[in-house]
Amino acid sequence: LSERLGKALKNITGQGKLTESNMNDMLKEVRMSLLEADVNYNVVKEFIENVKQKALGQEVIDSVNPGQMVVKIVHDEIQELLGSADARLNLKKSGVSTLMMVGLQGTGKTTASAKIARFCKEKLKKRVLLVACDVVRPAAIEQLETLGKSIDVEVFSLGTQVSAVETARQAMGYAYDRQKDLVIFDTAGRLHVDEELMQELSQMKALVQPDDILLTVDAMTGQDIVTVAREFNEQLSITGLVVTKMDGDARGGGLLSVRSITNVPVLFVSNGEKVEDLEEFHPDRMADRILGMGDIVTLVEQAQEKLDMDIQQKTANRMAQGIFTFNDMLDQFGQMQKMGSMQNMLKMIPGLGKMVKQLDDEKMNDSMKKSQAIIQSMTPYERENPSCLKASRKNRIAKGAGVKVMEVNRLISQLEQMQMMTKMMSGGGGMPNLSALQN
Q: Is 110 in the site for Mg ion (CB under 5 A)?
A: yes
- What does 400 interact with, of ligand GDP, Mg ion, none (CB < 5 to 8 A by kind)? none
Task: Write down the least CB distance from residue 154 to Mg ion, Å.
Answer: 18
Q: Is 109 in the site for ligand GDP (CB under 6 A)?
A: yes
Q: Which of 265, 211, 213 is nearest to 243 (CA)?
A: 265
Terminal-residue alpha carbon distance, the chain? 64
Q: Is 157 in the site for ligand GDP (CB under 6 A)?
A: no
Q: Which of 65, 68, 110, 371 binds ligand GDP (CB under 6 A)?
A: 110
User: Within a 10 A sphere around the Cβ of 45, how many other Cβ atoms?
Assistant: 12
C-alpha distance from residue 399 to each of 49, 406, 415 (Å): 54, 12, 20
Task: Write down the least CB distance from residue 252 to ligand GDP, Å.
Answer: 12
| Phi/psi of residue 411, nearest 5 degrees | -65, -40
CB-CB contact of 63 with 26 (8 Å): no
CB-CB contact of 311 with 287 (8 Å): no
User: Within a 10 A sphere around the Cβ of 150, how many other Cβ atoms?
Assistant: 12
The interface region with ligand GDP, picked from 241-249, 253-261, 380-388, 412-420 by CB under 6 A, is 241-249
Q: How far apart are CA 435 and CA 230, in angstroms?
A: 76
Which of the residues 120 through 159 are near Mg ion (CB under 5 A)?
134, 140
The interface region with ligand GDP, picked from 47-55, 57-65, 272-280, 422-430 by CB under 6 A, is 272-280
Q: Which of 75, 126, 245, 251 binds ligand GDP (CB under 6 A)?
A: 245
Q: Pairing state of beta strands 154-156 and 278-279? A: unpaired
247 labeled part of a ligand binding site = yes
Which of the residues 161 through 220 are near ligand GDP (CB under 6 A)?
189, 216
175 labeled part of a ligand binding site = no
Q: Which of 384, 390, 403, 388 is nearest to 329 (CA)?
A: 384
The interface region with ligand GDP, picked from 101-109, 260-268, 288-296, 343-351 by CB under 6 A, is 101-109
Q: For residues 136 and 424, which CB has a smaller minimum distance to ligand GDP in the complex? A: 136
Q: For residues 102 and 296, which CB has a smaller minimum distance to ligand GDP in the complex? A: 102
Q: How far apart are CA 265 and CA 87, in angstroms?
A: 6
- What does 152 interact with, of ligand GDP, Mg ion, none (CB < 5 to 8 A by kind)? none
Q: Which of 167, 262, 270, 315 binds ligand GDP (CB under 6 A)?
A: 270
Q: How far apart are CA 284 and CA 220, in angstroms?
A: 19
Q: For residues 72 and 245, which CB has a smaller minimum distance to ligand GDP in the complex? A: 245
Q: Which of 142, 152, 249, 273 binds ligand GDP (CB under 6 A)?
A: 273
The interface region with Mg ion, picked from 50-58, 108-116, 290-298, 328-336 by CB under 5 A, is 108-116
315 labeled part of a ligand binding site = no
Q: Which of 381, 439, 369 is nearest to 411 (CA)?
A: 369
Q: For residues 106 and 294, which CB has a smaller minimum distance to ligand GDP in the complex? A: 106
108 labeled part of a ligand binding site = yes
Q: How far apart are CA 254 and CA 259, in angstroms?
A: 9
CB-CB contact of 78 with 290 (8 Å): yes
Q: What element of type H or E holds 184?
A: strand 182-187
| Phi/psi of residue 253, nearest 5 degrees | -65, -20
The interface region with ligand GDP, picked from 29-37, 100-108, 123-131, 220-228 by CB under 6 A, is 100-108
C-alpha distance from residue 267 to each of 275, 278, 290 (Å): 16, 10, 18
- What does 68 interact with, of Mg ion, ligand GDP, none (CB < 5 to 8 A by kind)? none
186 labeled part of a ligand binding site = yes
CB-CB contact of 12 with 299 (8 Å): no
CB-CB contact of 275 with 115 (8 Å): yes
Q: For residues 242 and 319, which CB has a smaller minimum distance to ligand GDP in the complex? A: 242
Q: For residues 82 and 132, which CB has a smaller minimum distance to Mg ion in the complex? A: 132
Footprint on this chain of Mg ion (rule: CB under 5 A): 109-110, 134, 140
Footprint on this chain of ligand GDP (rule: CB under 6 A): 103, 105-111, 189, 216, 244-245, 247, 270-273, 277
Per the annotation, binding residues for GTP are: 103-110, 186-190, 244-247
